[in-house]
Amino acid sequence: MIFRNPHLQKGFSYLLILSLTLYLTGCTYYKAREKPISETPVLDLDKYNAFSYTFVAHLGNEEWDLSSVVLNRYENKILAEVKEVDERTKYMYESLRPGQTARYSGTERNYIRQVHIYMTEYEDMGNNRITIDGENIQKVLIYNMNGALTTLSYLSTGAVTFVAGMIIILLILCNCPHVYTFDGNEYIFTSTLFTGAVTPALARHDYKILPDYQPDKETYQLKVINEEYENQYTDLLEMLAVYHQPDEKVVPDKVGKIHVLKQLLKPDKASTPEGMDLTYEVSSQDEVAYLFDAPSETDLNYVNLTFQKPMGTKAGRLVLTAKNSPWGGYVYKEMSSLLGKKYGRRVEKNQQSDGTKTNEWMNEQGMLLSVEMKNGDNWELVDEVPLLGDVSFQSIVIPVQFPDDETTTASFRLRAGFKFWEVDYVAMDYGNDLAENVDYLTPSFATGNDGSDHLAALQYVDHQYMEHLRKGDHTIVHFEPKGREKGLSRTLILHSNGYYRSNLHYEGRPQVREILKFRQPGELSNFSRKLYEDFSNSFAIN
């Protein structure tokens, strides 16, 4: 077996059986869920493109298939033509109840993407056309792909990746502080803080959009937990409560500016340099992502993107929804294990560095997600996306300054190591608005599991830390944002700063010859690819 880390051998046998079953069935997983009704239900349906989804309307015991669907989000109305529900469509939604997950294959996949609208009344416009007012929408059910489970089962083209993904998620979740948010009933694992800040010099500001489970509540509770073998030092926790129009999307950039996005444009084309079309994977936020695992002629993997650009446009904002992959965490730990008993000494030495060489090395190895723009015949670096953690997809804005030319297209490429990142969505906005209605909130309550009060430590970046030095240490934190104002939406962003230090230990002699290879740019990506190939061969032998 290829596992150098003995902890990763646990559970391999039963996961192997499970993955083989998934491989032989060749299925895609789907789920049914009820979508909460807001004050603007038609706007909330905007992401469900009528070309990709079947819309079905229900009134009492009656039901119709909706075609030529128009979502008038400004007047909160749906206009559509009604016809009899297709029998295959009906079979699919009657066989999958809300809250369930099922798997389908073949032509069945064409019928499962469905939006069901339950209404109290409608307006008959004649000629089989109706209008549904948003105020009369009682319930909405969404039938869609279960992105997380499908991605695990198809990280590449076989069950081998499902095994890798499952083992990693179960056994080596992302290092760094874990954030659980309270949804009214329980704490839900939501995010991580300052991933990759493994020394004081690498401490950085981190901005993560949080799920707003109770947008009308004025108390937001979360729990920060040390679930790893490491020391964690959190210098700042702050909540940004942003109030904006329902048809606007607000997303931070990596320095904390909050951008207001009004007209997001999908890429005209997204593909690998070798010609694999990725437009479907990156055009909607559905957790079906590109995993930077396509065959590549280079050490690192690339995604090429092309957008329409109004002539004379000087600036824009590239929007990414992405996360780090669990596989990348496994690869990094496998590399670290090559240091053997010298690993602890290397960690200690890194604590004294200024972080410059570490950041350069991470970029060269494809650990950071690089964004490059084409200028003439050259590719120029625009920015690097910091590590976002592997728990949930996060959105981030990359501000762009275009070259002074008369082109009507903008070309970008994303660069990362083999299977280090997952990109779910890419879009472009040519506006320049920043959020104005923002409340900056410090915690109102921050009490550790040992009774310690951490309020003072979390107020400012002043090297006064909330310390979690043992696995299991945690702190309950409360913020007091205003409830959403009438006619507005509320987006919550958690701003943090800090770092953490690994307490892992490895045995054995350091494999110096192997370690020295990682001085070469792209070698960690090659290492990842080789590990994956070894794992595939191991699976084939089993």
Q: Which residue, 250, 262, 291, is CA-closest to 162?
A: 291
Which of 145, 162, 192 represents a domain boundary (last residue)?
A: 145
Residue 540, in any domain of the structure = no
Contact present, 480 and 442 (Cβ < 8 Å): no
Residue 382, in any domain of the structure = yes
234 and 315: one domain?
Answer: no
Region of poorest pLDDT, from 51-65, 285-299, 303-317, 342-356: 342-356
Contact present, 81 and 66 (Cβ < 8 Å): yes
CA distance 79 to 413: 39
316 and 397: one domain?
Answer: yes
178: helix, strand or coil: strand
Whole-prediction pTM = 0.74
424 contacts: CB under 8 Å, gap ≥ 6: 147, 281, 282, 285, 286, 287, 288, 289, 321, 322, 323, 393
213 contacts: CB under 8 Å, gap ≥ 6: 181, 182, 183, 184, 188
Residue 19, in any domain of the structure = no
* Predicted pLDDT of residue 538: 61
408 and 465: one domain?
Answer: no
- 456 secondary structure, DSSP code: G
Which of 432, 466, 485 represents a domain boundary (last residue)?
A: 432
318 and 423: one domain?
Answer: yes
Query: What tens digit of pLDDT does each residue of 74-133 get?
Result: 788 999 999 999 888 888 888 777 766 666 654 555 567 889 999 999 999 999 999 999
Distances (CA, A) of 534 to 328, 472, 540: 16, 35, 10
Kindly provide the residue ranges of all beta strands, DSSP E only, lying in 469-542, ordered along the sequence: 474-479, 489-502
Q: Within 122-237, where are the H helices? A: 147-153, 159-171
356 and 406: one domain?
Answer: yes
136 and 225: one domain?
Answer: no
- In terms of phi and psi (left: phi > 0; alpha: psi -120 to 50; beta: otherwise), the region of 314 is alpha
Q: Which residue has the higher pLDDT, 395 or 345?
A: 395
Contact present, 274 and 297 (Cβ < 8 Å): yes
Q: Which residue, 402, 224, 168, is CA-closest to 307?
A: 402
194 and 267: one domain?
Answer: no
Residue 24 tokens read as 């032989």
Phi (first) and psi of residue 350, to 5 degrees: -65, -25
Find the domain containing 450 and state its range.
174-245+436-510
Average pLDDT of the residues in 171-181: 73
292 and 423: one domain?
Answer: yes
* Predicted pLDDT of residue 146: 59
Query: What tens digit of pLDDT does each residue of 308-327 get?
Result: 999 889 999 999 999 999 88
Average pLDDT of the residues in 436-463: 97
- 412 secondary structure, DSSP code: E
CA distance 360 to 363: 5
CA distance 57 to 35: 15
CA distance 512 to 522: 18
Residue 211, in any domain of the structure = yes
What is the average pLDDT value for the chain, to the nearest integer?
85
